[in-house]
Chains A and B, each alone.
Chain A
Amino acid sequence: MEFFFQQLTNGLAVGGIYALIALGYTMVYGVLKLINFAHGDLFMIGAYLGLTLLTALGLADYLSPFCVIALLAVMVLILVAILGVVLERVAYRPLRQAHRLSAVVSALGASIFFQNIVMLIYGAKFQVYPHDLMPRTVVHIFGMPVPLIRILILLASVVMMVALYTFIQRTKVGTAIRAAAIDQGAARLMGINVDRVIALVFVIGPALGGAAGLMVGIYYGQINFTMGWIYGLKAFTAAILGGIGNIPGAMVGGLMLGLIEAFAAAYLSVAWKDAFAFCVLILILIVRPTGLLGERVAEKV
């Protein structure tokens, strides 16, 4: 029972991280119909920026751990968001009228660019987050020990997701984003500045991705310049699983994928866990071709 519970909490924590990254994919897709292959690399840059800021500013010396992390998170969120906006401006905006696949190639190019610039700056080796950043507190839930950090990660990601969901559903700007996702032309006619909306999406998505990067750094303690691809692929899978373009879908998909992976690794086989996640994805898509929560777009055929 305890083993099961450990897998459950671990799966939920990892799933929360996947969900945060998946939100970036799904929001960009919703508005631009573009798979932003560079999104995983923005997430990776978030992890590296967190580490750099942590060591460069020496915050851990005179602040409590939670203040340090909160401060780091704010800085990483802002920096990665800026990077996201620049990426959109340079690599995607000129291609807005072009074929969809041209923008995909541009995204792949941006991804290669980011990966290699990080590799040139930090080197190809794994970088290690300080071990004593988070106190290794263990809390007991139903009498079973759970590392505090897992709960915090899950909590933080849920808070961010709820905040995003409320923002999208309840505010005027959120409505503008939804309008632009449904029909850009009509949104423009209603007086919505679509370019602004797209820029905003490239603020929110990368910011969430950067936060996820920081979480991975703190949770696993080591980061690598290739991890953007690995997590990006997982998160993209999660977004598709939930139905791409659908915000609650990305959350459900992310958490589900985290759980599937955790349980598959624990009860079936560690070596096959990635394959297992893809198998579940394929099976779900065969039954529901637009993902779990994806709207049934009036299929053209």
Chain B
Amino acid sequence: MKNKRWIVYAAFSLVLLTSPAVLNRYWIDVLNVVGLYVMLSLSLNIILGHCGMFHMGHAAFYAVGAYTTAILNTVYAIPVLWLMPLSGLLAGLFALVIARPIIHLRGDYLLIVTIGFVEIVRIALINNVFGITGGANGIFGIDRPTIFGMKISTPGQFFYLIWFFVAVTIYLLRKLEHSRFGRALNYIREDDVAAAGSGIDISHYKLIAFVIGAVWAGFCGTLFAAKMTIIAPESFNFWESVLLFMIVLLGGRGSIAGVILGTFLVIGLPELFRQFATARMLVFGAVMIIMMIFRPEGILPPPPRTYRLDRTAEPEEAA
């Protein structure tokens, strides 16, 4: 059973990695967008999927990352990829500051507050806060990234850059999932009273989950800025956050494979039906309802955690 899963994953990766050879620029670009969303959705998955916090403002952290990169690159000409850690750091710091006072809010109250933050960030960007965000037009002329002197500019090159980071994300998140920290988050999601009773400092763990998710969204922001070379406040609106929220829930909360599949469906599938431009979103809405009715836990809910009996001494070895 476990092997079958791995065969599917390997085949999928192989098809994906060789696909730029046969696809045209447009479709490679679609895959790039999907890659960015995979990374973003996986970062939201830590907060929403693993920890169960209703967070509908993820685009705010994405925006902080993208604008950090854009401003520092256009003003001080710092190479884009060098700014990635800084973008993540600032997004994380921002998350820490805003989440600290609100982390104790219950589900739906947290939801509206995070929506509030994403709207405040967007309005602040439009109003050219501190005079550095370029207002409604945004910032343009962001440099292309370079790796070992090679300039990344074609969709094909970006494909490998973005999916490399996706792969790193998946690897690290798998580690996280099977760590003590990951299990604690799941425990909080399922029953926070029991978790607190077992000695888990709930707000501390929730805050860390929030910050990790935000840092990752900040990294995505750098990639987005580098890919687009132009960023504007409308790329980080409330709808963007809703989209990420839907991807995680449609794919399966807390399931990496589910979230990836969900991204392909939510971002990739509408592209396939571009010729029905006007009606496709109508169908999209209806499909979401139907999918939830038939698979309320998402398309690929995470398999239940299993532990090998002969190795209970090392609970890190979860399947």
Residues 112-141 (chain A) with a chain B CB within 8 angstroms: 112-117, 119-120
Question: Chain A contact residues: over half helix, strand or loop, or mixed?
Answer: helix
Kindly provide the distance from the CB of A45 to the nearest chain B CB, expressed in whole angstroms.
14
**Contact string against B for A residues 273-301, beta-carbon threshold 8 Å, 1 for contact and 0 otherwise:** 01100110110011001110000010111
Assess whether B293 is in contact with A106, with CB atoms less than 8 Å apart.
Answer: yes
Most B-side CB within 10 Å, residue of A35, A103, A244: A35
**Contact string against A for B residues 117-137, beta-carbon threshold 8 Å, 1 for contact and 0 otherwise:** 101100110110000000000
Assess whether B246 is in contact with A105, with CB atoms less than 8 Å apart.
Answer: yes
Is A111's beta carbon under 8 Å from chain B?
yes
Alpha-carbon distance A91/B287, docked complex (angstroms): 11
Assess whether A275 is in contact with B119, with CB atoms less than 8 Å apart.
Answer: yes
Alpha-carbon distance A229/B294, docked complex (angstroms): 27
Question: Contacts A95-B296, A113-B285, A233-B238: A289 and B104 contacting too (C-beta < 8 A)?
Answer: yes
Interface size on B, residues (CB 8 A): 47
Is B286's beta carbon under 8 Å from chain A?
yes
Question: Contacts A110-B285, A301-B192: A272 and B127 contacting too (C-beta < 8 A)?
Answer: yes
Question: Contacts A29-B108, A272-B123, A275-B119: A112 and B297 contacting too (C-beta < 8 A)?
Answer: no
Kindly provide the distance from the CB of A146 to the nearest chain B CB, expressed in whole angstroms.
30
Residues 223-246 (chain B) with a chain A CB within 8 angstroms: 238-239, 242, 245-246
Assess whether B124 is in contact with A275, with CB atoms less than 8 Å apart.
Answer: yes
- In the complex, what residues of B have CB within 8 A of residue A244's CB? 108-109
Assess whether B109 is in contact with A109, with CB atoms less than 8 Å apart.
Answer: no
Is B208's beta carbon under 8 Å from chain A?
no
**Contact string against A for B residues 91-104, beta-carbon threshold 8 Å, 1 for contact and 0 otherwise:** 00000000001101
Assess whether A95 is in contact with B109, with CB atoms less than 8 Å apart.
Answer: no
- In the complex, what residues of B have CB within 8 A of residue A279's CB? 116, 120
Which of B54, B112, B288 meets A112, CB within 8 Å? B288
Most B-side CB within 10 Å, residue of A29, A91, A108: A108
- In the complex, what residues of B have CB within 8 A of residue A272's CB? 123, 127
Residues of A at the B interface (CB closer than 8 Å) are 29, 35, 90-91, 94-95, 98-106, 108-117, 119-120, 229, 233, 236-237, 240, 244, 269, 271-272, 274-275, 278-279, 281-282, 285-286, 289-291, 297, 299-301
Subset of 30 A-B contacts with CB under 8 Å: A35-B108, A91-B293, A99-B296, A102-B292, A106-B288, A106-B289, A106-B292, A108-B288, A109-B284, A109-B288, A112-B288, A113-B282, A116-B279, A116-B282, A116-B285, A120-B282, A233-B119, A237-B112, A237-B116, A274-B119, A274-B123, A279-B116, A281-B116, A289-B104, A290-B109, A291-B109, A297-B106, A299-B106, A300-B193, A301-B196
What would 7 more interface pairs be, CB under 8 Å, given A244-B109, A282-B113, A285-B109? A105-B246, A109-B285, A272-B127, A278-B119, A278-B120, A285-B113, A299-B106
Residues of B at the A interface (CB closer than 8 Å) are 54, 101-102, 104-109, 111-113, 115-117, 119-120, 123-124, 126-127, 192-193, 196, 202, 238-239, 242, 245-246, 249-250, 253, 278-279, 281-282, 284-289, 292-293, 296-297
